[in-house]
Structure 1
Amino acid sequence: MKYLFIGFVIACMASGPVLAQQHSEQNHSKYVWPKDSLVKKKLNQWQDIKFGLLMHWGTYSQWGVVESWSLCPEDEGWCVRRGPESGNWYGYKKAYENLQTTFNPTRFNPERWATAAKAAGMKYMIFTTKHHDGFCMFDTKQTDYKITSTKSPFASNPRSNVTKEILGAFRHEGFMVGTYFSKPDWNTESYWWPYFPPKDRNVSYDPKKYPELWKKFSDFSYNQIQELMTGYGKVDILWLDGGWVRPASTIDSTVSWQRTIPYSQDIDMGRIAGMGRQNQPGLLVVDRTVSGEFENYVTPEQQIPDHYMPIPWESCLTMGDSWSYIPKENFKPARKLVQMLVDIVAKNGNMLLNIAPGPDGEWHEEAYTRLAEIGAWMSVNGESIYGTKPLAPYRQNQWAFTTNGKTRYASYLPTETETVLPAAITLPLTSTVSKETVTILGTKQVLKWKKVGNTMEVSVPEKLRQQLAGKPVWVFKIG
């Protein structure tokens, strides 16, 4: 993960500032709907569950630095080196890779994570089995740069194959589970070939000029993914990152970062997806930013589209400021996180929220607090989220709309200064039935309303206003 910008016009919450980075609108015609009936079924199931957990975790957590990117020899703000030998790339890379010998997350307890995530209302989970640095958080046979290597002190722990433990713990709680896997691998000599020092994030040689070396790397990638698809129980999603590893024919020159890709880096996604689905029928494949048949849903990163999107999509966002663990994290308030979820769902998306474990194998305690606060809202209002579809006008000012086909939900997103509902509030919806009942989720009292033009003006009694004070979002149920 890091600044893989994709084609959306993006904005933050309606009540927040617009992101400084704007992008061209996604061309929906590039999305390819899956033909496999099992993939379609799983995609529909995934779209119904709305809310998931992403975890970035690796040896980099020991230094509290950005995941992998400090190894990348690019002059970008997120590639700045911090740590031993930071003035010498070769020395830094050696020190970074030596973190394997001290990584010992003895507080690792995935059951606690799964329990907290379930209580928050999350229903799927994606775990980073390997990031761009190449360090494997699973027991691969393709490299010794892994948590289960004898070089790693945690290898002697009976739970050292953390990917297997995490997938099992979340699967036990009823989650759909997915494996994040980085297509580029900066530790593997068939990608960053030592003969040519790397200039940037891309492969360090021309694959057309050295096809045998590229074939070696493609087979390496295939074999690692095959391990994940065959040795870790049921897997629902293969979530692939590192979108510069792609065929030249898929490079979009209108996207700035894609213009910098110097070579075709084709690892044969048809072969990979075919193998994945042979072992995991119905597997969702998410080849991020590579539009086509292997991107079953699109993934705006740290961004929320400013409008309804008719294709399957997911905003992947951080609970704090960083994808990876940092000692002092700035966690977003639960109120903001709930509003982000409501905003996303009304636009036809899912929200994938990242929490980063630390070097000891635990989250910040504040992350558990945030999840509990989100869960308190979801336990009351979840019916307006799960299994719903967006309802026109989708998002209008402070309103977000969803429906389950029978009932309509109008969610009111208060500003930071609003703590209680107005005594009279106008829902920008037209009632088709004069006897429709209106309630607020969490209460049983039927509210009085009247039709005013093409809207419904609802009266909220004072006692109810005080009872519901301070909620992150108020949901009106109409039906």
Structure 2
Amino acid sequence: MLLKQKPKTLFLSTFLISSAFFSQAHNVSAGYQKPDDPLVVQNLEQWQDLKFGLFMHWGTYSQWGIVESWSLCPEDESWTQRKPEHGKSYSEYVKNYENLQTTFNPVDFNPQKWAEAVKKAGMKYVVFTTKHHDGFAMFDTKESDYKITSAKTPFSKNPKADVTKEIFNTFRKNGFRIGAYFSKPDWHSENYWWPYFPPKDRNVNYDPKKYPERWENFKKLTFNQLNEITSNYGKIDILWLDGGWVRPFRTIDPSVEWQRTIKVEQDIDMDKIGTMARKNQPGIIVVDRTVPGKWENYVTPEQAVPEHALSVPWESCITMGDSFSYVPNDHYKSSQKIIETLIKIISRGGNYLMNIAPGPNGDYDAVVYQRLNEISGWMEKNQSAVFATRSAVPYHYGDFYYTQAKDGKTLNVFHIDDKTDYETPSFLTFLLPENFRPKTLKVLGLASKIQWKQVGNTMEIQLPEERTKLKFATVIQMTN
């Protein structure tokens, strides 16, 4: 439940929330360390202007319509349950899962179609899963034959077989910033899950201190594949590293439940990896998720939105459907819900990375394009209140959410209603920041002149009949 507090109280809570939020939310770590590389600082500032990004989980698993990778992991999690028709035993299941490589042929793959649709909806950067935990590379790695460009994979004969290259090049040409998701753990690698031992959970299944040569080989695999991605795929702006259990043992936060399962040292030498990535891509943002320190340049709450503004760069990764991976007949969020989520996130200073999962044929569900088209209609009218903005006191008050231009001269106030299909009220009243004296006021998307008056630090607005054509939210824009 969002708290309805007066501005001064809410402003204080901005600084009090961090420890509680960081310790409880999935995939968020405490102890943020601000980068000191000027190019990284500049890139991070520009990234914070983008606000809305596209996340894509895609791999061979889309053919079964199951959760990405996790069914391989023998942890007792409800979302990882294996279907009997895919294998009666664990070993049979793994064999059949890995055999999906031999049938993966997404012939409808057309990244230009995706780029055009999401660009109209206001998305300005893309983060694509080059390799998930299952180890299947969606790029042309030289380190493994478990990849989309292998002769074992039917799609390898397609001229667009290196889908990572196609996606990055296409989206870059369409003006997007480029992010490469990469899983640090690799459950296909015999140097992470050594066949000599059965895997017990998501972690390495042997003790790297007892078998240092095997762990060193795994570190080389990780380094070499990340070197390939940052060397061979054009300009990359973000290196988004998942699998935070692969980390130095000293960085474990025992207050986080999943980190308590880490029993052995899994240091892959992020200093070496990060230095290499910055040499290949000067100024690249590195996101070593949940591992506090110099290589976690922004924090990444997953499927959650912080209740308050945060004082560090952050991004919520949230699915458009229920799943990060393709599931037939998924339940997609309404356009209103997506826009409400975007408003809440940007009012608290974050970015919204919305995941859309392509299917086994290489395209999105038709309903995805419908949602994107509806969002584009709203974004066309209201984008000036969304992009290149920052959070503004009082952040959130009742059903109102605030952003401001970076120079502080323009204030944007969003009105939403979580409970209903949105209808703009005829009368709106909300708080203004202290010392803000509006000189002009308009409602984005309305041509009519708006009647308004300021009483102390309260704004009162009478809206015309024309208001009925507004959808999803009302956006008031004022200059000081």
What is the rounded CA distance, in whole Å, between the counterparts of 2:293 and 2:376 in structure 1?
Answer: 36
Contact 1:431 1:455 in 2 (8 A): no
SS of residue paired to 2:266:
coil
Matches within 5 A, 1:44-443: 44-82=45-83, 84-404=85-405, 405-417=408-420, 419-430=422-433, 432=435, 436-443=439-446
Aligned partner letter, 2:186: D
Could you state the TM-score of these two structures normalised by the residue count of structure 2? 0.93
Deviation at 1:464? 2.4
Residue matched to 1:6: none
SS of residue paired to 1:26:
helix
Aligned partner letter, 1:169: T
Residue matched to 1:7: none
What is the rounded CA distance, in whole Å, between the counterparts of 1:310 and 1:457 in structure 2?
Answer: 30
What is the rounded CA distance, in whole Å, between the counterparts of 2:198 and 2:418 in structure 1?
Answer: 51
* Residues 28-47 of structure 1 deviation map (CA, whole Å, 9 limit, x = unaligned): 86100000000000000000
Identity of aligned residues (%): 53
Aligned partner letter, 2:448: Q
Contact 2:318 2:352 in 1 (8 A): yes
Contact 2:52 2:123 in 1 (8 A): yes
Contact 2:313 2:349 in 1 (8 A): yes
Residue matched to 1:466: 468
What is the rounded CA distance, in whole Å, between the counterparts of 2:426 and 2:56 in structure 1?
Answer: 42
Contact 1:120 1:374 in 2 (8 A): yes
Mapped pair 1:450 → 2:446 = no
What is the rounded CA distance, in whole Å, between the counterparts of 1:138 and 1:419 in structure 2?
Answer: 43
Residue matched to 1:20: none
Deviation at 1:274? 0.4
What is the rounded CA distance, in whole Å, between the counterparts of 1:433 and 1:289 in structure 2?
Answer: 38
Contact 2:340 2:418 in 1 (8 A): no
Question: Relative to structure 2, which stretch is displaced further, 284-293 or 452-461?
Answer: 452-461
Deviation at 1:434? 5.7
What is the rounded CA distance, in whole Å, between the counterparts of 1:430 and 1:406 in structure 2?
Answer: 12
Unpaired stretches in structure 1, ≥5 consecutive residues: 1-10, 15-22
What is the rounded CA distance, in whole Å, between the counterparts of 1:324 and 1:193 in structure 2?
Answer: 27
Aligned partner letter, 1:393: P
SS of residue paired to 2:55:
strand
Instruction: Classify 1:422/1:84 alpha carbon distance in 2 versus 1 (closer, same or farther; 3 Å).
Output: closer
Question: Relative to structure 2, which stretch is displaced further, 80-89 or 198-207?
Answer: 80-89
Residue matched to 1:477: 477
Aligned partner letter, 2:447: K
Instruction: Classify 1:25/1:467 alpha carbon distance in 2 versus 1 (closer, same or farther; 3 Å).
Output: closer
Question: Relative to structure 2, which stretch is displaced further, 430-439 or 48-57?
Answer: 430-439
* Residues 412-455 of structure 1 deviation map (CA, whole Å, 9 limit, x = unaligned): 01244364322221021157476622210012333222223420
* Residues 328-378 of structure 1 deviation map (CA, whole Å, 9 limit, x = unaligned): 111000001001001000000000000001111111011111111111111
Aligned residues: 458
Aligned alpha-carbon RMSD (Å):
1.7
What is the rounded CA distance, in whole Å, between the counterparts of 1:397 and 1:297 in structure 2?
Answer: 28
Aligned partner letter, 2:416: L
What is the rounded CA distance, in whole Å, between the counterparts of 1:85 and 1:422 in structure 2?
Answer: 53
SS of residue paired to 2:459:
strand
Instruction: Classify 1:435/1:135 alpha carbon distance in 2 versus 1 (closer, same or farther; 3 Å).
Output: closer
Contact 1:400 1:411 in 2 (8 A): yes
SS of residue paired to 1:444:
coil
Contact 1:437 1:447 in 2 (8 A): no
What is the rounded CA distance, in whole Å, between the counterparts of 2:229 and 2:280 in structure 1?
Answer: 10
What is the rounded CA distance, in whole Å, between the counterparts of 1:435 and 1:454 in structure 2?
Answer: 11
SS of residue paired to 1:304:
coil
Instruction: Classify 1:424/1:243 alpha carbon distance in 2 versus 1 (closer, same or farther; 3 Å).
Output: same
What is the rounded CA distance, in whole Å, between the counterparts of 2:117 and 2:2 in structure 1?
Answer: 27
Contact 1:429 1:455 in 2 (8 A): yes
